[in-house]
Amino acid sequence: MGQLAGQPRPPSEFVWQNDFRDPDPSEWPTLRRRFVEGLQEARRYCQTDPPALRCDSEEKAVDLLLRIAIHASYHMGQLNLLKRALRASHSGTSGDDKAE
């Protein structure tokens, strides 16, 4: 999101250390809140006319927003699979018996 606001991309080692780790369970509420806030912020960027982006170019902004959407969709799919597995473990079914 920072790149959409004109901030430089963080160094790869910083991203790797912070994005690819097993968080402590106590962090889940904060991580969930940040995830939802990030999606809301991306949506706000898309809804302004003209887009209130400070990227190098509109093409870069579109690329960043598409990557955010794809990445978020991936994680939402993971969460839905977990919900389905939890329902199945409690009901003794495949978990597909209820609509998402």
Which pTM does this prediction carry?
A: 0.65
- Express each pLDDT in 59-88 by its tens digit: 888 888 898 899 889 989 998 999 999 999
Asked if residue 65 lies in contact with residue 17, where contact means CB atoms within 8 angstroms, the answer is no
Rounded Cα gap, residues 4 and 57, in angstroms: 10
38 in helix, strand or coil? helix
Specify the length of the chain in residues.
100
Asked if residue 61 lies in contact with residue 53, where contact means CB atoms within 8 angstroms, the answer is yes
| Per-residue pLDDT, 52 | 67
Give the pLDDT mean for 53-63.
Answer: 82
